[in-house]
Amino acid sequence: MSRVSSTNLAVSAIAASLVAPAAPLRIGLIGFGCVGQGLYDILQRLPGFGAEVRRIAVKNPDKSRSLPASAFSFQADELLQDKELDVLVEVIDDAAEAFRLVSAALCQGRRVVTANKAMVAQHLPELIALEQQFGGTLLYEAAVCGSIPVIRTLDAYFGQEPLRSVSGIFNGSSNYVLTRMGEDASEYAAALAEAQQKGFAETDPTLDMAAFDPRSKAVILAAHAYGVLLQPEQVLNLGIENVSATDIAYAAVANQKIKVVAGLYLLPNHQLTVLVTPQLVDPTSPLYSVDDEFNGVVIEAEFAGTQFLRGRGAGGHPTGSAVLADLAALRANQRYAYAKLARPQLSYTSDLELEIYLRTDDELILDQLGFTDITEEADEDGYIVGFVPLDALIQHRDRLRKAGAFVARTGNVRPATAHAADTLELATAAE
């Protein structure tokens, strides 16, 4: 046989292997809410993808669903015991139960996809350890920013490059409320009711409006962007439950918008800080035009410069598309590298002062926060602008919420021991 003909045969064999259909992934789906139904619908529309939902576990047997009752199991543990399933996809809203199921699957060396950001944020060190010990694989792209592929981007593309900051709008529900208040001059309650009516906010909106949800996402990104494993409680989260038309108007006068911005910032001396708060954003930021239920992520890389990702941050199909991407990655035997976890650890710091806009009629809070500088004050409108210690905001965040106070960052930050002229210039296009 000639060299040419043998080469042609080899090329043909390779081509045949590439186009040969692989055995479809057999999926066990735990949860059939918004994301579960979204993924199911996507797979029905993509028969060529090569995956099929073999079993579905749900909690409530009496709930009306789009599939007949015979399609469901009512014990999720049955799916854990089914060795014929190739992948378990967990999309329930109970973080404790999600951890029980996902950790049990990883102890079996299973391949798992989850969308539960609270569970991942609370237990990421344990989950990574279980992967390493038992050889399973856990992917969770759908846990952060819906359809935006930010985790895989940070883990793979920026796995080696130093990042100056990762910041953005990580919660579509609160962003929708702020958009309506800014465009329609709505008060908070009316804007929230509209968001709930359209399915952009939950009946109990606390996790979104009090910024617990974007805080979980920021904690997850800290592991991939900087190799730092945090507990959610370490990170300041202030929400918009107390925002008013007065606050929206204050921003508008300066040609700014209020956005809930989650920011991960590399500081001098190899330190990292993470903040999740409302922020005054001006038109120079790409986040200024991210409205309604959309999310946006700004990545400031040392060498690549500024990258901006924008997409739908919630909904069955957008989040289901992230689960679909994880399924494709599992089929290609891909897993997260966590490359930066192996490097010398950055130290996490809250020893900073933030310049904030604070509206409150509670003078005790003013004393407790301990303003070190006041740059603007308006007694008639009940607000003050100035620098306060970050530790004080963390310590009193619950009191601020209960007292009806509203806080927004201006974007100016400085070391806690600094003078006014020593303000840090955070490396982010969000400010």
Question: What is the rounded CA–CA span in Å between residue 264 and residue 261?
Answer: 10
Q: Are residues 134 and 222 in the same domain?
A: no
Do both 282 and 164 map to the same domain? yes
| CATH at 395 | 3.30.360.10
Enclosing H/E stretch for 148: none
For residue 172, tell me if it sits in a domain: yes
Do both 283 and 253 map to the same domain?
yes
| Element of type H or E holding 40 | helix 34-45
CA distances from 99 to 9, 127, 258, 400 (A): 50, 9, 34, 31
Structural contact between residues 139 and 105, judged by C-beta atoms closer than 8 angstroms? no
Among 113, 163, 60, CA closest to 330: 113
Last residue of a domain, one of 139, 169, 194: 139
Question: What tokens were used for 26?
Answer: 């057999």
Dist. CA 299–CA 279, nearest whole Å: 17
Q: By the 8 A CB rule, do 238 and 211 touch?
A: yes
Say how many C-beta atoms besides its own lie within 10 A of residue 48's C-beta: 5
Q: Give per-residue pLDDT as tens, 67-99.
A: 998 899 999 999 999 999 999 999 999 999 999
Residue 92 and residue 207 in one domain: no
Predicted pLDDT of residue 424: 63
- Do 244 and 127 reside in the same domain of the chain? no
Give Cβ neighbours of residue 154 (< 8 Å, ≥ 6 apart). Answer: 163, 166, 221, 224, 225, 299
| Secondary structure (3-state) at 194 | helix
| CB of 21 closer than 8 Å to CB of 48 | no
User: Can you give the pLDDT at residue 14?
Assistant: 47
pLDDT at 136: 98
Q: Name residues of the chain where pLDDT drops below 50.
A: 1-7, 9-11, 13-20, 419-421, 427-431
**Do 265 and 296 fall into the same domain?**
yes
Cβ-contact 154, 218 below 8 angstroms: no
- Distance in angstroms (rounded) separating the CA atoms of residues 110 and 112: 6
CA distance 253 to 386: 18
pLDDT at 423: 60
- Tell me which H or E stretch contains 112: strand 111-114
Question: Are the C-beta atoms of residues 257 and 175 closer than 8 Å to each other?
Answer: no
CATH number of the CATH domain containing 28: 3.40.50.720
Whether residue 24 sits in one domain with residue 54? yes
How far the first Cα of the chain sits from its last, in Å, is 68
Q: What is 372-396 written as a DSSP string? A: SEEEEEETTTTEEEEEEEHHHHHHT
Strands 406-415 and 72-73: unpaired
Q: Which two tokens stand for residue 267?
A: 């500081």
**pLDDT tens digits, residue range 355-406?**
999 999 998 999 999 999 999 988 777 899 999 999 999 999 999 999 999 9
Residue 118 in domain:
yes
Residue 329 resides in a domain: no
In a domain, 303, yes or no: yes
In a domain, 191, yes or no: yes
272/358 same-domain check? yes
Q: Which domain holds residue 44?
A: 3-139
Secondary structure letter of residue 86 according to DSSP: S
Q: For residue 148, is it within any domain?
A: no
Torsion, Cα of 283, 252, 423, 373 (10° steps): 180
Active site residues: 217
Q: Are residues 179 and 127 in the same domain?
A: no
Q: How many domains does the chain have?
A: 2
Q: Are residues 345 and 205 in the same domain?
A: yes
Contact 259, 429 (CB under 8 A): no
| 267 & 405 share domain | yes
Q: CA-to-CA distance for 236 and 103, rounded, in angstroms?
A: 28
Q: How many CB atoms lie within 10 A of CB 283?
A: 10
pLDDT value at position 261?
Answer: 98
- 106 shares its domain with 218: no
- CB-CB contact of 388 with 370 (8 Å): yes
Domain's final residue, options 139, 168, 194: 139
Last residue of a domain, one of 85, 104, 139: 139
Evaluate whether residue 300 is within a structural domain.
yes
Two tokens at 301? 């890389």
Strands 406-415 and 352-359: antiparallel
User: Is residue 317 included in any domain, yes or no?
Assistant: no
